[in-house]
Amino acid sequence: MSTSTSVVREYFRTVFRWQTGRQQSGYDKMLLLQSMWPLPFDVYILRFPQGSEIAPHTDPVSLGRHYRLNIVIKRAASGGEFVCATPIYTSARIKLFRPDACEHSVTRVVRGSRYVLSIGWVRRGSAC
């Protein structure tokens, strides 16, 4: 089986299905769209149920600059706040940041749930 065939199979195996988030901290993610060419990107819905959180971390990339635009679809009744020391842009519902360059986290969801549309892409070139 070719590499491209296995990539396509993996995409269809995961798209539109809830999966455990990478940080193993109680949040879930659903892949909506992904492409590796011409600009590598992904689009997810993130679900943060009560009690979930994401500890401070960065998301390194091997080549290029990683950008992420998070749009808060539904806020938690309490908690679930995005924390990033040096975002590119932030408002109550819109967060644009460099996850490879800026440590970021989400505070514990104390009450309710939080949903986020998350769009990420990598600009190839130098990491600076």
Q: What domains lie within the chain, and their CATH numbers?
A: 3-123 (2.60.120.10)
Q: What is the mean pLDDT of residues 94-107?
A: 97
- pLDDT greater than 50 at residue 127: no
Q: What is the mean pLDDT of residues 120-124?
A: 93
Predicted confidence (pLDDT) per residue in 18-40, tens digit: 999 877 789 999 999 998 888 89
Distance in angstroms (rounded) separating the CA atoms of residues 52 and 27: 6
Give me the pLDDT at residue 99, please.
97
Predicted confidence (pLDDT) per residue in 48-82, tens digit: 999 999 999 999 998 899 999 999 999 999 999 99
Q: Give 106's contacts (C-beta < 8 A, 6+ positions apart).
A: 27, 48, 52, 53, 54, 80, 81, 82, 83, 114
Distance in angstroms (rounded) separating the CA atoms of residues 121 and 128: 15
pLDDT band at 126 (very low <50, low <70, confident <90, very high): low
Instruction: State whether residue 70 is helix, strand or coil.
Output: strand
Start-to-end C-alpha separation, the chain? 37
